[in-house]
Amino acid sequence: MLQRSAISSTIRIDQASLYRMAKKFVLQGSDKDRELTIDYPAELNSEQLDAVLRGDGPCLVLAGAGSGKTRTITYRVAYLIEQGVQPQEILLLTFTNKAAREMLERVERLLGSSIDGVWGGTFHSIANRLLRVYAERLGYTRHFTILDMEDAKGMVKLALKSMKIDPKARRFPSPAVCMNILSYTRNVGGSIQETLEVKYPNFVELEPELDLLAQRYSERKRQANAMDFDDLLLHLLQILEDPVVGPQIASQFRYVLVDEYQDTNAIQARIVNRFASAHGNLFVVGDDAQSIYAFRGANVQNILNFPDEQSSVQVFKLLTNYRSTPEILQLANSSLKQNLDQYQKDLVGLRASGEKPSIVPAASTRQEAQYVAEQVLAVREEGVSLGNIAVLFRATSHSQLLEMELLKRDIPYEYRGGLKLFERAHIKDVLSYLRIHENPKDEAAWTRLLLMQPGIGAVTAEKMAGGLTRADVLQDAFTLAESQPVSAKVKTGWEVLAAILRDVLAEASEPSKMIRAIAASGYQEYLEREYPNWRDRLEDIEQFALFAESYDSLETFLADVSLYDDVLALKEKGKSYDDERIVLSTVHQAKGLEWDTVFILHLADGSFPNRRAMEEEGGIEEERRLFYVAVTRARKSLYLTYPLTMGADTLVLNRPSMFLDELDPRLFERIELVHAPMARAPRVRDSWSWEDGYADDVIELDVHGEPKRGSSHRYIESNSSSTKTAWKSSKSVGSKKLPKSLLSDIEDL
């Protein structure tokens, strides 16, 4: 078999060229004058119609948000079949099997007949079908196994074991992190060294071992006749580039259509080009403005460079938006204009004019959460169902306080893009550290933390936890553990845990300080080793600490957290799928969805845009595209919120996101939050103190966190019973608050 392949490579027969040179014989009944059953001009707008009817050859369809992308692809497939193209000659590549299935079902409804034979599905599913036929050319049998993520992780563990590496026993990435490193490297077509330098700088010194791991992992898959998801794509490309079978496969597909082309990576773009190499009918649909998956290896340059890499490309633009009001689209268009590396296009809305988007600065993250929760209830009172309301955010950490506010107000919600707050492993870890500090007899918490330590397995953890619960105070637990005879490996693991617990003990005054002590301790090293997204988890923990700042007592804090957790569990247990709930989602998870009312949280500098993303090449433009995606999820109402300050022990002033600063003020309405007025006694001359300032001081901050000197902006009152106390804020010098009369003097320094 290898010998035959070598001969073919030597001869270098360009079968694709031979196919294009071949004479054509047109079968009767497949001519282009056949009667059409679909009235395309009546069903499509002029932009869509142009793409559907004239889409032969290489075509790029730039489909703006809400412009009918799916409709255009569906009608294009139907039109091809009505023109006499056989279903098996059509290849439709998508990023979810659900999308392909729904499109092809729509085509069948349009035509009123079956279209069995169309090749529709994800890159991976199409790869699987073809590799079942050609696997033997690659040294596999056609009965190869596809490894899911857990299977692949298990094989990485075996490869690490063969290298005598125990990730728990030393500072080495976990199997999950190793998988991410290997996968990203293969998808972008780079080297492990490049991946480590860009994505995992903490592990750069481990490059030789990770290179060896990649080799061992590949060998084990071969021995097991198994492929992981990345192998499916790489081996498909290998088959398509085979000089013998590649042209045969390409000649089968007269028309190739690709959905969401902006999300393709380097390997997928090469696969697409090989599929279309025989006939040249390549119809790619996408929107460079919605390219937001660079962290997975997607390359926006694939869609931006498409006209330069194909010959005689037709470019169609779908700019008519059916989703959002003109006011929302004007804001979205204005923001996107700041990007340089893009196709110039402005969405035009068909909806009736509505209200301007609102920008809402809040005094703090807590007030931001209170406002959103109260406004959700107000919007519901206006007749908008909870299911038509969404709250979007850049990172899961931004939603924590809002989750608490929703629970307090009994507002049901559905969380997308991750687990709810108390379901997240790192939050459970932090709570275990705190629970042990409060109650050393908590065996479950001891067991959880012991299992995280190097050198400690399940049996040892269970035995040690049982012994440690004999302690009445945490200090006694240290004494008990150190008196037990254990192996050197177990002793090392215990010392790591004890060091973290002592850091927590040193900050025993307040829950927030204890949480931050955990994050700054050896626990951070554990997160780095264990999770690819460890930075996001640290941000989660910081937000959890901010929530804890309103508590002076650890006992009260843990009791309230348990109550929140219990209430949430009861709600989840009792809910039905018909329950109406608002959606809480990361922006990435919200792509392709839409709601009547959308809130975008935490639009503060360093949060959205994400500070880390801004440090990467092209990062700012990708973050702006992410903001654009978030904005264009809204149909009728859009609220953009951010906190002016963060923290309480140490007040940090926030600037608004650069994406808000860039906007023309005429495109939005600013809302300032004030609490419902309260009656108060006349100020007493001597009522000021270093500890509390004046008891009735209220200082309003402007959008930059500075004391406000008059304003013409509109005010909204917060009428929740939980927020009817006057909001009190003042400039801080160290930990002492100064009276208003001194503030102007400080500002002049």
CATH number of the domain residue 555 falls in: 1.10.486.10
Residues 398 and 437 in one domain: no
Residue in the block written with tokens 């085509």: 107
Task: List residues with catalytic annotation.
Answer: 69-70, 259-260, 290, 633
pLDDT of residue 745: 34
Q: Which two tokens stand for residue 52?
A: 């559907």
Residues 300 and 383 in one domain: no
Position 432, amino acid: S
Residue 58 half-sphere exposure toward CB, CA atoms < 13 A: 18
Specify the number of domains making up the chain: 4
- Could you check whether the bond before residue 532 is cis, i.e. omega within 30 degrees of 0? no
Q: Which are the contacts of 488, defined by CB distance < 8 A and separation ≥ 6?
A: 455
pLDDT of residue 165: 84
Residues 115 and 28 in one domain: yes
Query: Residue 617 gets which letter from DSSP?
Result: T
Residues 189 and 102 in one domain: no
How many other C-beta atoms can be found within 10 angstroms of the C-beta atom of residue 595?
A: 23
In a domain, 736, yes or no: yes
In a domain, 142, yes or no: no
Range of the domain at 473: 422-559
SS3 585: strand
Short-list 594, 568, 536, 601, CA closest to 391: 601
Q: Which two tokens stand for residue 737?
A: 């608050």
Distance CA 328, CA 640 (A): 11
Residues 408 and 489 in one domain: no
pLDDT of residue 468: 84
Distance CA 134, CA 154 (A): 27
CA distances from residue 239 to 131, 189, 249, 256 in whole angstroms, order as listed: 8, 17, 9, 17
Residues 126 and 262 in one domain: yes
CA distances from residue 534 to 199, 399, 545, 613 in whole angstroms, order as listed: 12, 17, 17, 15
Query: Residue 701 gets which letter from DSSP?
Result: B
Residues 193 and 170 in one domain: yes
In a domain, 401, yes or no: yes
In a domain, 350, yes or no: no
Position 25, amino acid: F
Residue 506 half-sphere exposure toward CB, CA atoms < 13 A: 11
Using only the alpha carbons of the chain, give its radius of gyration: 30
Q: Which two tokens stand for residue 680?
A: 């108060």
pLDDT of residue 647: 64
500-511 burial, b at 16+ Cβ within 10 Å, e below that, comes to bbebbbebeebb
Burial of 70 (0-12, 13-18, 19+ CB in 10 A): middle
Residues 365 and 431 in one domain: no
CA distances from residue 709 to 644, 699, 701, 703, 741 in whole angstroms, order as listed: 16, 10, 9, 12, 14
pLDDT of residue 407: 86
In a domain, 349, yes or no: no
Residues 120 and 237 in one domain: yes
Residues 440 and 546 in one domain: yes
Q: Indicate the helix (H) or strand (E) that contains 629.
A: helix 619-631
pLDDT of residue 4: 35
Residues 251 and 377 in one domain: no
Q: What residues of the chain score a pLDDT lower than 70?
A: 1-34, 167-170, 417-420, 485, 507, 564-579, 647-651, 676-749
Short-list 442, 469, 475, 438, CA closest to 558: 438
**pTM score > 0.75 for this model?**
yes
Q: Are strands 669-675 and 358-362 parallel, antiparallel or unpaired?
A: parallel
CA angle 716, 722, 378 (to 5 degrees): 45
Residues 549 and 436 in one domain: yes
Q: Are 233 and 271 in contact (CB under 8 A)?
A: yes
Residue where a domain stops, chosen among 185, 208, 224: 224
pLDDT of residue 713: 37
In a domain, 519, yes or no: yes
Residue where a domain stops, chosen among 224, 240, 264: 224
In a domain, 388, yes or no: yes
